[in-house]
Structure 1
Protein backbone atom coordinates (compact mmCIF):
# COMPACT_ATOMS: atom_id res chain seq x y z
CA UNK A 1 0.00 0.00 0.00
CA UNK A 2 1.47 3.36 -1.08
CA UNK A 3 1.97 6.33 1.23
CA UNK A 4 -0.69 8.23 -0.76
CA UNK A 5 -3.21 5.42 -0.18
CA UNK A 6 -2.37 5.36 3.53
CA UNK A 7 -2.89 9.14 3.66
CA UNK A 8 -6.26 8.67 1.96
CA UNK A 9 -7.36 6.05 4.49
CA UNK A 10 -6.25 8.27 7.35
CA UNK A 11 -8.28 11.14 5.88
CA UNK A 12 -11.36 8.90 5.64
CA UNK A 13 -11.00 7.88 9.28
CA UNK A 14 -10.36 11.37 10.65
CA UNK A 15 -12.43 13.68 8.44
CA UNK A 16 -15.29 11.36 7.51
CA UNK A 17 -15.44 9.29 10.71
CA UNK A 18 -15.31 6.06 8.67
CA UNK A 19 -15.55 2.90 10.78
CA UNK A 20 -12.69 0.38 10.97
CA UNK A 21 -14.81 -1.99 8.87
CA UNK A 22 -15.22 0.67 6.15
CA UNK A 23 -11.52 1.52 6.22
CA UNK A 24 -10.60 -2.15 5.81
CA UNK A 25 -12.99 -2.45 2.85
CA UNK A 26 -11.37 0.58 1.21
CA UNK A 27 -7.93 -0.93 1.84
CA UNK A 28 -8.92 -4.19 0.08
CA UNK A 29 -10.40 -2.32 -2.88
CA UNK A 30 -7.37 -0.09 -3.33
CA UNK A 31 -5.04 -3.09 -3.04
CA UNK A 32 -6.99 -4.83 -5.78
CA UNK A 33 -6.70 -1.72 -7.97
CA UNK A 34 -2.99 -1.40 -7.21
CA UNK A 35 -2.38 -4.98 -8.37
CA UNK A 36 -4.03 -4.28 -11.72
CA UNK A 37 -2.04 -1.06 -12.15
CA UNK A 38 1.27 -2.78 -11.37
CA UNK A 39 0.52 -5.47 -13.93
CA UNK A 40 0.14 -2.64 -16.45
CA UNK A 41 3.38 -1.02 -15.34
CA UNK A 42 1.69 1.95 -13.67
CA UNK A 43 1.62 3.13 -10.06
CA UNK A 44 -1.93 3.55 -8.83
CA UNK A 45 -1.48 7.26 -7.97
CA UNK A 46 -0.70 7.99 -11.62
CA UNK A 47 -3.43 5.78 -13.11
CA UNK A 48 -5.47 7.18 -15.95
CA UNK A 49 -8.83 6.53 -17.56
CA UNK A 50 -7.51 3.47 -19.44
CA UNK A 51 -6.21 1.95 -16.21
CA UNK A 52 -9.58 2.36 -14.49
CA UNK A 53 -11.28 0.75 -17.48
CA UNK A 54 -8.76 -2.12 -17.29
CA UNK A 55 -9.62 -2.46 -13.59
CA UNK A 56 -13.29 -2.90 -14.46
CA UNK A 57 -12.45 -5.42 -17.17
CA UNK A 58 -10.33 -7.47 -14.77
CA UNK A 59 -13.14 -7.59 -12.21
CA UNK A 60 -15.63 -8.62 -14.87
CA UNK A 61 -13.26 -11.34 -16.12
CA UNK A 62 -13.06 -12.71 -12.56
CA UNK A 63 -16.83 -12.93 -12.48
CA UNK A 64 -17.30 -10.36 -9.73
CA UNK A 65 -20.87 -9.14 -9.25
CA UNK A 66 -21.77 -5.74 -10.66
CA UNK A 67 -22.45 -4.48 -7.15
CA UNK A 68 -18.91 -5.45 -6.14
CA UNK A 69 -17.45 -3.83 -9.26
CA UNK A 70 -19.31 -0.60 -8.58
CA UNK A 71 -18.26 -0.59 -4.93
CA UNK A 72 -14.59 -1.08 -5.78
CA UNK A 73 -14.76 1.56 -8.52
CA UNK A 74 -16.39 3.97 -6.05
CA UNK A 75 -13.47 3.48 -3.66
CA UNK A 76 -10.94 4.15 -6.43
CA UNK A 77 -12.86 7.23 -7.59
CA UNK A 78 -12.82 8.61 -4.08
CA UNK A 79 -9.09 7.96 -3.91
CA UNK A 80 -8.57 9.81 -7.18
CA UNK A 81 -10.62 12.77 -5.96
CA UNK A 82 -8.49 12.87 -2.83
CA UNK A 83 -5.28 12.92 -4.88
CA UNK A 84 -6.61 15.72 -7.08
CA UNK A 85 -7.91 17.81 -4.15
CA UNK A 86 -4.65 17.30 -2.26
CA UNK A 87 -2.60 18.54 -5.22
CA UNK A 88 -0.93 15.16 -5.76
CA UNK A 89 -2.12 15.04 -9.36
CA UNK A 90 -3.55 17.52 -11.84
CA UNK A 91 -6.63 15.64 -13.03
CA UNK A 92 -9.39 13.33 -11.80
CA UNK A 93 -9.83 10.38 -14.20
CA UNK A 94 -12.39 8.69 -11.98
CA UNK A 95 -15.09 11.06 -13.19
CA UNK A 96 -14.58 9.83 -16.78
CA UNK A 97 -15.25 6.12 -16.17
CA UNK A 98 -18.73 4.68 -15.73
CA UNK A 99 -19.35 1.56 -13.69
CA UNK A 100 -21.42 -1.36 -14.97
CA UNK A 101 -25.12 -0.68 -15.09
CA UNK A 102 -27.26 -2.71 -12.75
CA UNK A 103 -31.03 -3.05 -12.69
CA UNK A 104 -32.66 -1.02 -9.96
CA UNK A 105 -34.26 -3.31 -7.43
CA UNK A 106 -36.97 -1.80 -5.30
CA UNK A 107 -37.21 -2.78 -1.63
CA UNK A 108 -39.57 -5.58 -0.76
CA UNK A 109 -42.32 -4.40 1.54
CA UNK A 110 -45.44 -5.62 3.30
CA UNK A 111 -48.82 -4.02 2.85
CA UNK A 112 -50.37 -2.11 5.75
CA UNK A 113 -52.86 -4.92 6.21
CA UNK A 114 -50.09 -7.53 6.40
CA UNK A 115 -48.24 -5.50 9.02
CA UNK A 116 -51.46 -5.16 11.03
CA UNK A 117 -51.87 -8.92 10.95
CA UNK A 118 -48.34 -9.40 12.27
CA UNK A 119 -48.87 -6.85 15.03
CA UNK A 120 -52.23 -8.33 15.99
CA UNK A 121 -50.93 -11.90 16.23
CA UNK A 122 -47.95 -10.71 18.30
CA UNK A 123 -50.23 -8.67 20.58
CA UNK A 124 -52.64 -11.56 21.15
CA UNK A 125 -49.77 -13.92 22.03
CA UNK A 126 -48.31 -11.35 24.44
CA UNK A 127 -51.65 -10.81 26.15
CA UNK A 128 -51.93 -14.55 26.70
CA UNK A 129 -48.83 -14.31 28.90
CA UNK A 130 -45.18 -15.29 28.84
CA UNK A 131 -41.89 -13.42 28.65
CA UNK A 132 -40.99 -14.59 25.12
CA UNK A 133 -44.25 -13.42 23.45
CA UNK A 134 -44.06 -10.13 25.36
CA UNK A 135 -40.51 -9.56 24.16
CA UNK A 136 -41.41 -10.43 20.57
CA UNK A 137 -44.35 -8.02 20.60
CA UNK A 138 -42.16 -5.22 21.97
CA UNK A 139 -39.49 -5.88 19.33
CA UNK A 140 -42.04 -5.80 16.53
CA UNK A 141 -43.78 -2.66 17.77
CA UNK A 142 -40.48 -0.79 18.13
CA UNK A 143 -39.26 -1.97 14.74
CA UNK A 144 -42.35 -0.79 12.87
CA UNK A 145 -42.86 2.31 15.04
CA UNK A 146 -39.37 3.62 14.28
CA UNK A 147 -38.16 1.84 11.16
CA UNK A 148 -35.03 0.71 13.01
CA UNK A 149 -32.22 -1.31 11.55
CA UNK A 150 -32.27 -4.74 13.18
CA UNK A 151 -28.82 -4.15 14.71
CA UNK A 152 -30.10 -0.93 16.27
CA UNK A 153 -33.20 -2.68 17.58
CA UNK A 154 -31.68 -5.68 19.33
CA UNK A 155 -28.89 -3.60 20.90
CA UNK A 156 -31.13 -0.89 22.36
CA UNK A 157 -29.95 -0.04 25.86
CA UNK A 158 -32.43 -0.13 28.72
CA UNK A 159 -32.24 3.67 28.89
CA UNK A 160 -33.30 4.13 25.24
CA UNK A 161 -37.00 3.88 26.11
CA UNK A 162 -38.04 6.01 29.06
CA UNK A 163 -41.57 6.52 30.42
CA UNK A 164 -40.87 10.24 30.70
CA UNK A 165 -39.92 10.62 27.04
CA UNK A 166 -42.17 10.30 24.01
CA UNK A 167 -39.21 9.31 21.83
CA UNK A 168 -36.47 6.72 22.05
CA UNK A 169 -32.78 7.37 21.59
CA UNK A 170 -31.30 5.25 18.80
CA UNK A 171 -27.58 4.92 18.14
CA UNK A 172 -27.08 4.21 14.46
CA UNK A 173 -24.32 4.03 11.89
CA UNK A 174 -21.21 6.03 12.63
CA UNK A 175 -22.20 5.97 16.31
CA UNK A 176 -24.64 8.82 15.59
CA UNK A 177 -27.68 9.24 17.85
CA UNK A 178 -31.16 10.20 16.71
CA UNK A 179 -34.52 10.63 18.42
CA UNK A 180 -37.33 8.44 17.10
CA UNK A 181 -40.89 9.14 18.30
CA UNK A 182 -42.68 6.24 19.98
CA UNK A 183 -46.24 5.15 19.34
CA UNK A 184 -48.48 4.49 22.31
CA UNK A 185 -48.72 0.84 21.27
CA UNK A 186 -44.91 0.55 21.33
CA UNK A 187 -44.74 2.13 24.79
CA UNK A 188 -47.33 -0.32 26.12
CA UNK A 189 -45.52 -3.26 24.54
CA UNK A 190 -42.20 -2.26 26.11
CA UNK A 191 -43.84 -1.84 29.53
CA UNK A 192 -45.40 -5.30 29.24
CA UNK A 193 -42.04 -6.76 28.16
CA UNK A 194 -40.29 -5.22 31.15
CA UNK A 195 -42.93 -6.51 33.54
CA UNK A 196 -42.67 -10.04 32.12
CA UNK A 197 -38.87 -9.94 31.94
CA UNK A 198 -38.14 -8.48 35.35
CA UNK A 199 -35.03 -6.38 36.08
CA UNK A 200 -32.51 -6.46 33.24
CA UNK A 201 -29.33 -8.37 34.12
CA UNK A 202 -27.30 -5.91 32.04
CA UNK A 203 -27.71 -2.57 30.29
CA UNK A 204 -29.75 -3.88 27.34
CA UNK A 205 -33.50 -3.64 26.82
CA UNK A 206 -33.52 -7.13 25.29
CA UNK A 207 -30.86 -9.03 27.27
CA UNK A 208 -29.82 -12.53 26.26
CA UNK A 209 -27.13 -15.09 26.98
CA UNK A 210 -25.14 -14.22 23.90
CA UNK A 211 -21.60 -12.97 23.41
CA UNK A 212 -22.95 -9.45 22.92
CA UNK A 213 -25.21 -9.62 25.97
CA UNK A 214 -28.36 -8.89 23.99
CA UNK A 215 -30.70 -10.73 21.63
CA UNK A 216 -28.96 -11.51 18.35
CA UNK A 217 -30.21 -10.42 14.95
CA UNK A 218 -30.45 -14.04 13.85
CA UNK A 219 -32.58 -15.04 16.84
CA UNK A 220 -35.02 -12.20 16.22
CA UNK A 221 -35.20 -13.01 12.50
CA UNK A 222 -36.18 -16.59 13.39
CA UNK A 223 -38.86 -15.35 15.79
CA UNK A 224 -40.20 -13.07 13.06
CA UNK A 225 -40.42 -15.97 10.60
CA UNK A 226 -42.42 -17.98 13.14
CA UNK A 227 -44.70 -15.01 13.73
CA UNK A 228 -45.24 -14.62 9.97
CA UNK A 229 -46.34 -18.25 9.74
CA UNK A 230 -48.75 -17.74 12.63
CA UNK A 231 -50.18 -14.70 10.83
CA UNK A 232 -50.69 -16.67 7.62
CA UNK A 233 -47.93 -14.85 5.72
CA UNK A 234 -45.13 -16.49 3.70
CA UNK A 235 -42.11 -16.65 6.01
CA UNK A 236 -39.80 -15.83 3.09
CA UNK A 237 -41.61 -12.52 2.64
CA UNK A 238 -41.00 -11.27 6.18
CA UNK A 239 -37.73 -10.03 7.68
CA UNK A 240 -36.65 -7.17 9.95
CA UNK A 241 -35.38 -5.18 6.96
CA UNK A 242 -38.65 -5.69 5.09
CA UNK A 243 -40.46 -4.11 8.04
CA UNK A 244 -38.03 -1.16 7.95
CA UNK A 245 -38.88 -0.74 4.27
CA UNK A 246 -42.59 -0.99 5.07
CA UNK A 247 -42.26 1.71 7.74
CA UNK A 248 -40.71 4.17 5.29
CA UNK A 249 -43.05 3.39 2.40
CA UNK A 250 -46.20 3.55 4.50
CA UNK A 251 -45.18 6.95 5.85
CA UNK A 252 -44.66 8.34 2.35
CA UNK A 253 -47.90 6.82 1.04
CA UNK A 254 -49.72 8.58 3.87
CA UNK A 255 -48.18 11.96 3.07
CA UNK A 256 -45.00 12.16 5.18
CA UNK A 257 -42.25 14.51 4.00
CA UNK A 258 -39.20 12.79 2.50
CA UNK A 259 -36.83 14.74 4.77
CA UNK A 260 -38.73 13.56 7.84
CA UNK A 261 -38.46 9.94 6.69
CA UNK A 262 -34.74 10.47 6.04
CA UNK A 263 -34.26 11.68 9.62
CA UNK A 264 -36.27 8.84 11.13
CA UNK A 265 -34.36 6.19 9.16
CA UNK A 266 -31.01 7.72 10.04
CA UNK A 267 -29.95 8.13 6.40
CA UNK A 268 -27.02 10.50 5.93
CA UNK A 269 -27.81 11.08 2.25
CA UNK A 270 -31.37 11.76 1.10
CA UNK A 271 -30.68 9.91 -2.16
CA UNK A 272 -30.73 6.71 -0.08
CA UNK A 273 -34.23 7.57 1.09
CA UNK A 274 -35.47 8.53 -2.39
CA UNK A 275 -35.80 4.88 -3.41
CA UNK A 276 -38.98 4.78 -1.35
CA UNK A 277 -40.55 7.37 -3.63
CA UNK A 278 -40.31 4.77 -6.41
CA UNK A 279 -42.06 2.23 -4.21
CA UNK A 280 -44.70 4.84 -3.44
CA UNK A 281 -45.17 5.50 -7.16
CA UNK A 282 -45.65 1.78 -7.82
CA UNK A 283 -48.28 1.72 -5.07
CA UNK A 284 -50.14 4.68 -6.60
CA UNK A 285 -50.08 3.06 -10.06
CA UNK A 286 -51.50 -0.15 -8.62
CA UNK A 287 -54.28 1.79 -6.89
CA UNK A 288 -55.04 3.68 -10.10
CA UNK A 289 -55.20 0.47 -12.14
CA UNK A 290 -57.47 -1.18 -9.58
CA UNK A 291 -59.81 1.73 -8.95
CA UNK A 292 -59.96 4.01 -12.00
CA UNK A 293 -63.08 3.32 -14.14
CA UNK A 294 -61.10 3.67 -17.39
CA UNK A 295 -58.05 1.68 -16.29
Structure 2
Protein backbone atom coordinates (compact mmCIF):
# COMPACT_ATOMS: atom_id res chain seq x y z
CA UNK A 1 0.00 0.00 0.00
CA UNK A 2 1.30 3.48 -0.86
CA UNK A 3 1.00 5.83 2.10
CA UNK A 4 1.13 9.54 1.21
CA UNK A 5 -0.09 12.90 2.43
CA UNK A 6 -2.87 12.60 -0.13
CA UNK A 7 -4.03 9.39 1.58
CA UNK A 8 -4.13 11.17 4.93
CA UNK A 9 -5.95 14.23 3.62
CA UNK A 10 -8.46 12.08 1.74
CA UNK A 11 -9.29 10.22 4.94
CA UNK A 12 -9.56 13.44 6.94
CA UNK A 13 -11.88 14.89 4.33
CA UNK A 14 -14.10 11.83 4.75
CA UNK A 15 -14.17 12.45 8.51
CA UNK A 16 -15.23 16.05 7.88
CA UNK A 17 -18.03 14.85 5.59
CA UNK A 18 -19.12 12.49 8.37
CA UNK A 19 -19.39 15.58 10.62
CA UNK A 20 -16.60 14.60 12.97
CA UNK A 21 -15.50 17.53 15.13
CA UNK A 22 -12.63 19.81 14.09
CA UNK A 23 -10.76 18.85 17.27
CA UNK A 24 -11.02 15.14 16.39
CA UNK A 25 -9.82 15.75 12.84
CA UNK A 26 -6.84 17.79 14.10
CA UNK A 27 -5.93 15.03 16.56
CA UNK A 28 -6.16 12.38 13.83
CA UNK A 29 -3.98 14.50 11.53
CA UNK A 30 -1.26 14.82 14.19
CA UNK A 31 -1.26 11.09 14.91
CA UNK A 32 -1.22 10.12 11.23
CA UNK A 33 1.64 12.50 10.46
CA UNK A 34 3.52 11.10 13.42
CA UNK A 35 2.95 7.59 12.08
CA UNK A 36 4.19 8.73 8.66
CA UNK A 37 7.37 10.11 10.26
CA UNK A 38 7.82 6.75 12.00
CA UNK A 39 7.97 5.11 8.58
CA UNK A 40 11.06 7.25 7.83
CA UNK A 41 9.69 8.53 4.54
CA UNK A 42 8.84 5.10 3.15
CA UNK A 43 5.61 5.22 1.18
CA UNK A 44 5.13 1.46 1.30
CA UNK A 45 2.97 0.25 4.13
CA UNK A 46 2.36 -3.32 5.26
CA UNK A 47 1.10 -5.11 8.38
CA UNK A 48 4.60 -5.40 9.88
CA UNK A 49 5.03 -1.63 9.71
CA UNK A 50 1.79 -1.06 11.63
CA UNK A 51 2.77 -3.69 14.20
CA UNK A 52 6.17 -2.00 14.66
CA UNK A 53 4.35 1.30 15.25
CA UNK A 54 2.21 -0.34 17.91
CA UNK A 55 5.25 -1.91 19.59
CA UNK A 56 7.12 1.40 19.55
CA UNK A 57 4.27 3.07 21.43
CA UNK A 58 4.31 0.29 24.03
CA UNK A 59 8.09 0.56 24.44
CA UNK A 60 7.78 4.34 24.83
CA UNK A 61 5.72 3.73 27.96
CA UNK A 62 2.39 5.19 26.84
CA UNK A 63 -0.73 4.15 28.75
CA UNK A 64 -2.83 1.55 26.95
CA UNK A 65 -5.66 4.06 26.53
CA UNK A 66 -3.28 6.53 24.85
CA UNK A 67 -1.92 3.84 22.55
CA UNK A 68 -5.43 2.85 21.46
CA UNK A 69 -6.24 6.50 20.78
CA UNK A 70 -3.18 6.74 18.51
CA UNK A 71 -3.95 3.45 16.75
CA UNK A 72 -7.53 4.46 15.97
CA UNK A 73 -6.72 6.95 13.16
CA UNK A 74 -4.28 4.53 11.54
CA UNK A 75 -6.83 1.71 11.58
CA UNK A 76 -9.51 4.07 10.29
CA UNK A 77 -7.33 5.27 7.45
CA UNK A 78 -6.50 1.69 6.44
CA UNK A 79 -10.19 0.83 6.22
CA UNK A 80 -10.80 4.00 4.21
CA UNK A 81 -7.98 3.05 1.82
CA UNK A 82 -9.49 -0.41 1.24
CA UNK A 83 -6.84 -2.30 3.21
CA UNK A 84 -8.61 -3.39 6.42
CA UNK A 85 -6.40 -6.49 6.63
CA UNK A 86 -3.51 -4.24 7.68
CA UNK A 87 -5.32 -3.05 10.78
CA UNK A 88 -3.92 -4.04 14.18
CA UNK A 89 -5.81 -4.96 17.33
CA UNK A 90 -6.25 -2.46 20.13
CA UNK A 91 -4.72 -3.25 23.50
CA UNK A 92 -7.17 -4.91 25.86
CA UNK A 93 -7.99 -2.85 28.92
CA UNK A 94 -9.82 -3.79 32.06
CA UNK A 95 -12.27 -1.04 32.92
CA UNK A 96 -11.43 0.51 36.26
CA UNK A 97 -14.16 1.27 38.77
CA UNK A 98 -12.12 4.20 40.04
CA UNK A 99 -10.78 7.45 38.67
CA UNK A 100 -7.33 8.82 39.39
CA UNK A 101 -7.87 11.17 42.35
CA UNK A 102 -5.04 13.35 41.04
CA UNK A 103 -7.20 14.19 38.03
CA UNK A 104 -10.70 14.28 39.51
CA UNK A 105 -12.22 17.73 40.08
CA UNK A 106 -14.36 17.85 43.22
CA UNK A 107 -17.19 20.18 44.16
CA UNK A 108 -15.00 22.13 46.61
CA UNK A 109 -12.35 22.74 43.94
CA UNK A 110 -15.02 23.76 41.43
CA UNK A 111 -16.32 26.32 43.94
CA UNK A 112 -12.77 27.63 44.43
CA UNK A 113 -12.56 28.22 40.68
CA UNK A 114 -15.87 30.09 40.66
CA UNK A 115 -14.94 32.23 43.66
CA UNK A 116 -11.62 33.16 42.07
CA UNK A 117 -13.33 34.10 38.79
CA UNK A 118 -15.84 36.21 40.73
CA UNK A 119 -13.12 37.90 42.77
CA UNK A 120 -11.29 38.77 39.56
CA UNK A 121 -14.56 39.96 37.96
CA UNK A 122 -14.08 37.45 35.15
CA UNK A 123 -17.82 37.05 34.57
CA UNK A 124 -17.52 35.37 31.18
CA UNK A 125 -15.19 32.56 32.27
CA UNK A 126 -17.09 32.01 35.51
CA UNK A 127 -20.40 31.73 33.68
CA UNK A 128 -18.87 29.35 31.11
CA UNK A 129 -17.79 27.07 33.95
CA UNK A 130 -21.25 27.21 35.53
CA UNK A 131 -22.96 26.56 32.20
CA UNK A 132 -20.92 23.43 31.44
CA UNK A 133 -21.04 22.08 34.98
CA UNK A 134 -24.78 22.67 35.55
CA UNK A 135 -25.90 21.16 32.23
CA UNK A 136 -23.24 18.55 31.42
CA UNK A 137 -22.72 19.85 27.88
CA UNK A 138 -19.45 19.40 26.03
CA UNK A 139 -17.26 22.46 25.62
CA UNK A 140 -17.82 22.19 21.85
CA UNK A 141 -21.56 22.54 22.48
CA UNK A 142 -21.31 26.00 24.08
CA UNK A 143 -22.12 27.47 20.68
CA UNK A 144 -25.69 26.26 21.19
CA UNK A 145 -26.01 28.41 24.31
CA UNK A 146 -27.63 31.43 22.68
CA UNK A 147 -29.81 34.27 23.89
CA UNK A 148 -32.77 32.51 22.27
CA UNK A 149 -31.93 29.26 24.08
CA UNK A 150 -31.64 31.08 27.42
CA UNK A 151 -35.06 32.65 26.93
CA UNK A 152 -36.52 29.23 26.14
CA UNK A 153 -34.73 27.61 29.07
CA UNK A 154 -33.33 24.90 26.85
CA UNK A 155 -30.97 24.27 23.94
CA UNK A 156 -31.45 21.95 20.98
CA UNK A 157 -28.09 20.36 20.26
CA UNK A 158 -27.27 18.94 16.85
CA UNK A 159 -23.84 17.37 16.47
CA UNK A 160 -22.46 14.32 14.66
CA UNK A 161 -25.89 13.59 13.20
CA UNK A 162 -27.46 13.37 16.66
CA UNK A 163 -29.99 15.70 18.28
CA UNK A 164 -30.73 16.12 21.95
CA UNK A 165 -32.36 18.67 24.19
CA UNK A 166 -30.56 20.24 27.14
CA UNK A 167 -32.60 21.89 29.89
CA UNK A 168 -31.14 24.86 31.76
CA UNK A 169 -31.61 25.19 35.55
CA UNK A 170 -33.66 28.27 36.46
CA UNK A 171 -30.68 29.89 38.20
CA UNK A 172 -28.57 29.45 35.06
CA UNK A 173 -31.30 30.99 32.88
CA UNK A 174 -31.33 34.07 35.11
CA UNK A 175 -27.56 34.40 34.98
CA UNK A 176 -27.38 33.93 31.19
CA UNK A 177 -30.09 36.52 30.54
CA UNK A 178 -28.59 38.99 33.01
CA UNK A 179 -25.13 38.57 31.45
CA UNK A 180 -26.57 38.99 27.94
CA UNK A 181 -28.44 42.13 28.96
CA UNK A 182 -25.29 43.70 30.42
CA UNK A 183 -23.51 43.11 27.12
CA UNK A 184 -26.46 44.33 25.08
CA UNK A 185 -26.95 40.94 23.41
CA UNK A 186 -30.43 40.33 22.02
CA UNK A 187 -29.75 37.26 19.87
CA UNK A 188 -27.10 34.72 18.91
CA UNK A 189 -24.09 33.37 20.77
CA UNK A 190 -23.72 34.38 24.41
CA UNK A 191 -20.08 33.35 24.74
CA UNK A 192 -18.31 34.87 21.78
CA UNK A 193 -15.17 36.72 20.69
CA UNK A 194 -14.91 40.33 19.57
CA UNK A 195 -15.34 39.07 16.01
CA UNK A 196 -18.65 37.45 16.90
CA UNK A 197 -17.46 33.83 16.66
CA UNK A 198 -18.05 31.37 19.53
CA UNK A 199 -15.17 31.25 22.00
CA UNK A 200 -12.80 28.43 21.12
CA UNK A 201 -12.02 25.27 23.05
CA UNK A 202 -8.35 26.31 23.23
CA UNK A 203 -9.19 29.72 24.71
CA UNK A 204 -11.36 28.14 27.40
CA UNK A 205 -8.71 25.53 28.17
CA UNK A 206 -5.95 28.13 28.53
CA UNK A 207 -8.07 30.50 30.62
CA UNK A 208 -9.13 27.66 32.91
CA UNK A 209 -5.49 26.68 33.48
CA UNK A 210 -4.64 30.27 34.43
CA UNK A 211 -7.66 30.47 36.73
CA UNK A 212 -6.77 27.15 38.35
CA UNK A 213 -3.24 28.33 39.12
CA UNK A 214 -4.57 31.45 40.83
CA UNK A 215 -7.23 29.45 42.67
CA UNK A 216 -4.72 26.92 43.97
CA UNK A 217 -6.31 23.97 42.15
CA UNK A 218 -3.98 21.35 40.63
CA UNK A 219 -3.52 21.82 36.89
CA UNK A 220 -4.17 18.10 36.34
CA UNK A 221 -7.77 18.67 37.49
CA UNK A 222 -8.54 21.84 35.59
CA UNK A 223 -9.83 21.24 32.08
CA UNK A 224 -13.30 21.69 30.53
CA UNK A 225 -14.21 18.00 30.28
CA UNK A 226 -13.78 17.56 34.03
CA UNK A 227 -16.74 19.91 34.55
CA UNK A 228 -18.84 17.44 32.56
CA UNK A 229 -17.58 14.61 34.76
CA UNK A 230 -18.49 16.58 37.88
CA UNK A 231 -22.00 17.15 36.54
CA UNK A 232 -22.38 13.42 35.88
CA UNK A 233 -21.10 12.44 39.31
CA UNK A 234 -23.39 14.84 41.22
CA UNK A 235 -26.43 14.04 39.07
CA UNK A 236 -25.94 10.31 39.61
CA UNK A 237 -25.54 10.77 43.37
CA UNK A 238 -28.96 12.45 43.43
CA UNK A 239 -30.85 10.31 40.92
CA UNK A 240 -29.04 6.94 40.60
CA UNK A 241 -30.52 6.50 37.11
CA UNK A 242 -27.63 5.75 34.78
CA UNK A 243 -29.90 5.46 31.71
CA UNK A 244 -31.26 8.97 32.24
CA UNK A 245 -27.75 10.27 32.79
CA UNK A 246 -26.58 8.65 29.55
CA UNK A 247 -29.37 10.46 27.69
CA UNK A 248 -28.44 13.79 29.27
CA UNK A 249 -24.78 13.36 28.35
CA UNK A 250 -25.60 12.20 24.82
CA UNK A 251 -23.95 8.80 25.22
CA UNK A 252 -25.02 5.95 22.96
CA UNK A 253 -23.52 3.42 25.38
CA UNK A 254 -24.06 3.18 29.12
CA UNK A 255 -20.54 1.77 29.36
CA UNK A 256 -19.25 5.21 28.42
CA UNK A 257 -21.42 6.77 31.13
CA UNK A 258 -19.97 4.39 33.73
CA UNK A 259 -16.58 6.02 33.17
CA UNK A 260 -18.08 9.39 34.08
CA UNK A 261 -19.48 8.26 37.41
CA UNK A 262 -16.36 6.41 38.56
CA UNK A 263 -15.02 7.80 41.84
CA UNK A 264 -11.52 8.09 43.25
CA UNK A 265 -12.15 5.01 45.45
CA UNK A 266 -12.68 6.93 48.70
CA UNK A 267 -16.32 5.85 49.09
CA UNK A 268 -15.44 2.25 48.27
CA UNK A 269 -12.65 2.32 50.89
CA UNK A 270 -15.05 3.67 53.53
CA UNK A 271 -17.47 0.83 52.77
CA UNK A 272 -14.69 -1.72 53.18
CA UNK A 273 -13.75 -0.20 56.54
CA UNK A 274 -17.36 -0.44 57.73
CA UNK A 275 -17.37 -4.19 57.11
CA UNK A 276 -14.98 -4.67 60.05
CA UNK A 277 -13.65 -8.00 58.82
CA UNK A 278 -10.14 -7.52 60.16
CA UNK A 279 -9.73 -8.78 63.73
Partner of 1:275: 259
Q: Distance in 2 between matches of 1:82 and 1:251?
A: 40
Bigger Rg, structure 1 or 2: 1
Q: Distance in 2 between matches of 1:224 and 1:160?
A: 27
| Larger RCO: 1 or 2 (CA < 8 Å, sep 6+) | 2
Cα deviation, residue 220, structure 1: 4.9
Q: CA 1:65–1:222 in structure 2 vs 1: closer, same or farther (change >3 Å)?
A: closer
**Number of residue equivalences:** 267
Q: Distance in 2 between matches of 1:224 and 1:201?
A: 29
Partner of 1:141: 130
Q: Normalising by structure 1, what TM-score?
A: 0.64
Q: Distance in 2 between matches of 1:278 and 1:289?
A: 17
Contact 2:147 2:180 in 1 (8 A): no
- 1:205-216 counterparts in 2 under 5 A? 205-209=190-194, 212=197, 214=199, 216=203
Q: Distance in 2 between matches of 1:19 and 1:220?
A: 22
- Give RMSD over aligned pairs: 4.6
- 1:85-234 counterparts in 2 under 5 A? 88=82, 92-95=85-88, 97-99=89-91, 106=99, 108-112=103-107, 115=110, 121=115, 132=121, 135=124, 138-153=127-142, 156-162=145-151, 165-170=152-157, 174=160, 177-195=163-181, 197-200=182-185, 203-209=188-194, 212=197, 214=199, 216-218=203-205, 220-221=207-208, 224-225=211-212, 229=215, 234=217
Q: Specify every segment of 5 or more residues in structure 1 that has no aligned partner in the other structure, as ranges.
A: none
Cα deviation, residue 285, structure 1: 0.8
Contact 1:5 1:30 in 2 (8 A): yes
Q: Specify every segment of 5 or more residues in structure 2 that has no aligned partner in the other structure, as ranges.
A: none
Q: CA 1:150–1:11 in structure 2 vs 1: closer, same or farther (change >3 Å)?
A: closer
Contact 1:8 1:79 in 2 (8 A): yes
